[in-house]
Structure 1
Amino acid sequence: MSANRRERTGFWRGNSLSLVFGAAFLVVLAAQAVAGRAEFNEQLAVEGLQQVGFGDYLMSSDFAVDVTENWQSEFLQFFLYIFGTVHLLQRGSPESKPLHKAGTESEREQKLGDHAQSDSPRWASTKDWRQALYSRSLGLAMAVFFLFSWFAQSVSGVSAYNDVRLRQLQEPVSWVSYLASSDFWNRSLQNWQSELLAVAAMAILSVYLRQRGSPESKPVGSPHSATGVEG
């Protein structure tokens, strides 16, 4: 086997998790676009209006709001989970830290400052704002993605909402008015509650159930009381 072939094999195997889920995301997004256009055209047909092409639907506010309302709830889930698990614990769950490690942990445990290693990220060895920022960069990134996608949902949502109102010969509403509307909050809250339920279910079910070989599960033979142990 040539060196190039080994490098290609190593790349695909070493990044298979993100590559497979990234590809699956694109496939499902395309399928959503097809199904969404069909549903949208059915609504237009009922109202006696001209149907839209696939390209026009992809550029529509109807498609944008359906996509972004799901994105923002997913990023909210990870933001809350990343920050919440710093201090919140679940006895017996691999999704929780060991019970004696609640909190931000010591610099030695986190390999910060003087305890940074030669291969540690550069900002981990600093002792100023860079270390403070990098120490929270994952949660902050999720918070930024959440806020950005929630804002995008509100902008595309008010456009889609006003399109419906105009077809019904009603006055459009402003973006600020839409933020206080039941449509905006129904779209947001119906996704938030499902994400919170999924996190809670994962945290408690992983105490008693197992998935052999998965890092999201404890080793199959671990006792139910084992906390912060991954397979």
Structure 2
Amino acid sequence: MSLFVFTLMAQALTGWKEHNGTLKDEGASELSVSTYLRSGHFISATFENFESEFLQMALYVLLTIRLRQIGSAESKKLDEVEEVDREPIASPTAPWPVRRGGLALAIYRNSLSIAFAILFFISWWLHFYGSWQENNIEAAVKGKQDLTMLEYLAEPNFWFETFQNWQSEFLSVASIVILTIFLRQKGSPESKPVDAMDMETGK
């Protein structure tokens, strides 16, 4: 979290300087830091990245329930029932939703994927909102007409921003699934033991 806060602050500072440079070149007024943090430029850039990360994690959590990859440290065993697949037991030490049962348990047993999906949709919306705001600011500086949200949704710029992030996340997931078949990192929970066979699935 310290690294996250540091890099977010660095992004804000460098983005502010870069954006003000662009505004200055266009003959527009520069923004204060506080105004920049509420601008479409900062909101779009920030949540564009959050969106793709939460999409990656939501899909990763959901797809690894059913799909398998022989030899991958990121896959469940091909032919064994694992601890994460067993039905929850309402013991005195179990979390409250498990003891309660019913709807509370139904939500809780899927709460990780639900949380990632909600975070993805919130980030997608904020990315879209920020990108739309930034587009209209650029249009105003250039003397062009603003677009409504629906009009901007049909513009290629927003979808270019979206897909360039999504494809990189899909590639990173494929990379860790496939590379952990053949490569090792001693001490990492993301790796199989160094002496494990390539076709040994899971950790």
Two-structure CA RMSD over aligned residues (Å): 1.8
Instruction: Give identity over the alignment, percent.
Output: 37
- Partner SS, residue 89 of structure 1: coil
Partner of 2:68: 89
Q: Is the 8 A contact 2:75 2:201 kept in 1?
A: yes
Partner of 1:129: 103
Partner of 1:201: 175
Partner of 1:63: 42
Number of equivalences: 203
- Partner SS, residue 21 of structure 2: helix
Q: How far 1:124 sits from its partner (Å)?
A: 2.2
Residue 44 of structure 1 aligns to which amino acid in structure 2?
L
Q: Is the 8 A contact 1:111 1:124 kept in 2?
A: no
Note the residue ranges of structure 2 that are not aligned, 5 or more in a row: none
Q: How far 1:226 sits from its partner (Å)?
A: 1.3
Q: How far 1:65 sits from its partner (Å)?
A: 0.6
- Partner SS, residue 79 of structure 2: helix
- Rounded Cα–Cα distance in structure 2 between residues aligned with 1:37 and 1:49: 14
Q: Is the 8 A contact 2:41 2:131 kept in 1?
A: yes
Q: Which structure exhibits the higher relative contact order, with contacts defined as CA atoms closer than 8 Å and separated by 6 or more residues?
A: 2
Partner of 2:32: 53
Q: Is the 8 A contact 2:186 2:194 kept in 1?
A: yes
TM-score normalised per structure 1: 0.83
Residue 30 of structure 2 aligns to which amino acid in structure 1?
Q
Q: Is the 8 A contact 2:28 2:141 kept in 1?
A: no
Partner of 2:157: 183
1:6-42 residue CA offsets vs partner (Å, 9 max, x unmatched): xxxxxxxxxxxxxxxx110000001111111121122
- Rounded Cα–Cα distance in structure 2 between residues aligned with 1:179 and 1:94: 39
Residue 87 of structure 1 aligns to which amino acid in structure 2?
R
- Partner SS, residue 99 of structure 1: coil
Residue 32 of structure 1 aligns to which amino acid in structure 2?
Q
Partner of 1:19: none
Moved over 6 A (4+): none
Q: Is the 8 A contact 1:111 1:117 kept in 2?
A: no
Cα 1:88–1:44 change in 2 (3 A) is: same
